[in-house]
Structure 1
Amino acid sequence: MFPAMSELYHNRILELAAGIPNTGDLDGAEGSVLKVSRVCGSTVKVDLTLDAAGEKIAAIAVDPKACALGQAATSILAEHAVGARVEEVIAARDALKAMLKEGGPPPEGRFWELRHLEPVADYPPRQTSTLLAFEAAVAAIEEVLAKRREKQEAAG
Structure 2
Amino acid sequence: MIDDLYSARILTLAANLPHAGRLASPEGTGERVAKLCGSRAIVDVSLDDQGRVMDFAQDVKACALGQAAAGVLGQSVLGASADEIREARDAMTAMLKSGGEGPVGRFEGLRVLKQVADYPARHASTLVAIEATLEAVDQALAGRTRLAGAA
Give the match for residue 122 of structure 1.
118
Q: CA deviation at 1:105?
A: 0.6
2:43 and 2:101 map into 1 onto residues whose CA distance is 25
Q: 2:49 is matched with which residue: 49, 52, 73?
A: 52
Q: 2:107 is matched with which residue: 104, 111, 123?
A: 111
Give the match for residue 89 of structure 1.
85
Q: CA deviation at 1:86?
A: 2.3
Give the match for residue 8 of structure 1.
5
Q: Deviations over 1:9-66 (max 9, x none)?
A: 0110000000111000112210111110101001011100111121x11010011000
Runs of 4+ in 1 over 4 A off after TM superposition: none
Give the match for residue 42 of structure 1.
39
Give the match for residue 136 of structure 2.
140
Residue aligned with 1:25, SS: coil
Q: Deviations over 1:98-146 (max 9, x none)?
A: 1001110121111111111011111111000000011011111110111
| Structure 1 gap ranges (5+) | none
The two structures have a TM-score, normalised by structure 2, of: 0.97
1:82 and 1:114 map into 2 onto residues whose CA distance is 15
The two structures have a TM-score, normalised by structure 1, of: 0.94
Give the match for residue 57 of structure 2.
61
Question: What amino acid is aligned across from residue 145 of structure 1 in structure 2?
Answer: L
| Structure 2 gap ranges (5+) | none
